[in-house]
Copies of this chain bind each other. A is one copy, B any other.
């Protein structure tokens, strides 16, 4: 599926959907922009065309935790919640890269739901996907150790050279813990030879050992 800057060409959509969406123009959002924050009213249903947006829950201490990332072709579920239930946002969305997205106003959204089976499928599957991810998140946060979550993060966000370009603070947010804890765990992983660390970069030295850690090895 290809994502162009023409909203009428959103992959897989049918005639009625294209007819309604064709009138909308994409919005450009610069890197670092906050798309919405807690308490704000919902303006419409959001579909990403390009770029990447992270949705975080922010705690009273300033600590935050990544709920999910929105990538091209996906939609922001938070907005759907608002449209369907009338509630305001409880999370905060930030553009991690410059992004282009379509904002589908409330009435157009409902018209689409009723007229386009393809659009229904899009919304439903987005829902299902996010929900699954949320349950996974709850499971991870409540039942997995920080060490395991950290090892998992390093493994699946690292590039082909085995390098992960993230600060400790970013890692902390991604796995839902505090920065200091990440510092201590990374040190432990480094001491045991799994990884090497320098300012802003973690390098995998022993993939196999790291996988053991994910699966709950004590070391």
Chain A contacts to B: CB under 8 angstroms: 57, 59-61, 63, 65, 67, 77, 80-81, 84-85, 87, 90-91, 113-114, 117, 120, 124-125, 127-132, 134-139, 141-143, 176, 216
Contacts and interface: CB of A to CB of B under 8 A. Distances in A.
What copy number does this chain have within its complex? 2
A57 B135 contact: yes
A143 B85 contact: no
B81 A128 contact: yes
Query: Which 3 A-B residue pairs are closest in the complex by CB-CB distance?
Result: A59-B143, A84-B128, A85-B128
B134 A134 contact: yes
Contact of A59 (B67, B134, B142): B142
A61 B131 contact: no
Contact of A142 (B57, B81, B84, B114): B57
A60 B60 CA distance: 30
Contacts of A136: 90
A38 B99 CA distance: 38
Nearest to A136: B90
